[in-house]
Amino acid sequence: MLTIAFYILSALTISSALMVLFSKSPIYSVLWLVICFFSITGHYILLDAHFLAIVNLIVYAGAIMVLFLYVIMLMNLNKESEPQKPVWLKFASVITGCLLMIVLAGALKGYSELPPAAITEDFGTAKGVGKVLFTEFLMPFEVASILFITAMVGAVILAKKHVND
Amino acid sequence: MENITQFTGALTINHYLFLSSVLFSIGVMGVLLRRNFIIIFMCVELMLNAVNILLAAFSRYNGNQSGQVFVFFIMVVAAAEVAVGLAILVMIFRNIRTTDINALKNLKW
């Protein structure tokens, strides 16, 4: 039952990721990427990472993808303005990607068949992850807030229109 | 909360290893294949997510929640990176009026 769910979700993930690459219009690429992130949320649920599933849904599929969509609409991109590569270069890049996949799969094939470990009741929930986050990883968590402020200020400064005077 | 995969042994870590290597390769393929710099940026996000799945899978199969905290931090850094990156891309677009990555090849050789 769970294996079937895994295979369905994987097929959805991989096919939508491929559609991101091969759709002509950038808007469609973003929408396929949203579907891809939704199926990745499904994988997190299968892996008992309930907190990560919700965070992935809100942050990635919600915030980041809306940001991409806004930027594409602001730039007024469509199928006609889309730059294209020559066909031989496309073939070369597809072959390169397939070769990388073969190398990765071959290198990881002999990994041990690790069974899932026994886990506690609050594994992966907001309670369990929060406990680890606020005890072991408190310092990086605080540093992340500084990173966010820096990124916010930087984004505003970069995107602002410079007035020539 | 009920743990979903407690009673199953059919799904091994190899499934997740293979899935995330396929997703990562698709991301690399996208970076090589497309010329629009926004699509290239999206493919980088795809590669980050492939790594996130693998970290969550190893965290589940080792029974250690630190891996999920790492995924959380990767998401934090990715959100900041997307904000700054898109601001840079908007600025570049305002200057050169195109999304073609080939217009920015002065540092190539």
- Using left for φ > 0, alpha for ψ between -120 and 50, and beta otherwise, residue A123 falls in beta
Q: CB-based contact (8 Å) between A153 and chain B?
A: no
Q: 3-class DSSP state for residue A119?
A: coil
Domain span at residue A42 reads 2-107+131-159
DSSP secondary structure letters along A28-39: HHHHHHHHHHHH
Note the residue count of chain A.
165
Domain count across chain A: 1
| CB neighbour list of residue A79: distance below 8 Å, 6 or more residues apart | A24, A25
What's A59's domain CATH number? 1.20.120.1200
CA A73: distance to chain centroid?
21
Which residues does chain A have within 8 Å of residue B28's beta carbon, measured at their own beta carbons?
96-97, 100
Domain contains A25:
yes
pLDDT tens-digit map of A43-101: 999 999 999 999 999 999 999 999 999 999 888 877 777 777 788 989 999 999 999 99
Rounded CA separation A143/A150 (Å): 11
Q: Given the structure tokens 């250690």, which residue do they identify?
A: B64
User: Is A148 close to B76, i.e. CB distance below 8 A?
Assistant: yes
Rounded CA separation B63/B51 (Å): 18
**B4 pLDDT band (50/70/90 cuts)?**
low
User: Is B102 close to A83, i.e. CB distance below 8 A?
Assistant: yes
- In A103-142, the residues whose Cβ lies within 8 Å of chain B are 104-105, 108-109, 111-119, 121-125, 128-129, 132-133, 136-137, 140
| CB neighbour list of residue A130: distance below 8 Å, 6 or more residues apart | A51
Domain contains B72:
yes
Domain contains B61:
yes
Which residues does chain A have within 8 Å of residue B49's beta carbon, measured at their own beta carbons?
36-37, 40, 60
| CB neighbour list of residue A134: distance below 8 Å, 6 or more residues apart | A141
The residues facing B100 across adjacent strands are: B36
Nearest to A104 among B25, B80, B81 (CB): B25
Domain contains A114:
no
User: Is B43 close to A20, i.e. CB distance below 8 A?
Assistant: yes
**Higher pLDDT among residues B58 and B6, named by residue:** B58
What's B69's domain CATH number? 1.10.287.3510
Q: How many CB pairs under 8 A join A and B?
A: 262
CB A30 within 8 A of CB B42: yes
C-alpha gyration radius of chain A = 21
End-to-end CA distance of chain B: 56
Domain contains A126:
no
Tally of CB atoms within 10 A around B3: 18
User: Is A77 close to B99, i.e. CB distance below 8 A?
Assistant: yes
pLDDT tens-digit map of B10-69: 788 888 999 999 999 999 999 999 888 999 999 999 999 999 999 999 999 888 899 999
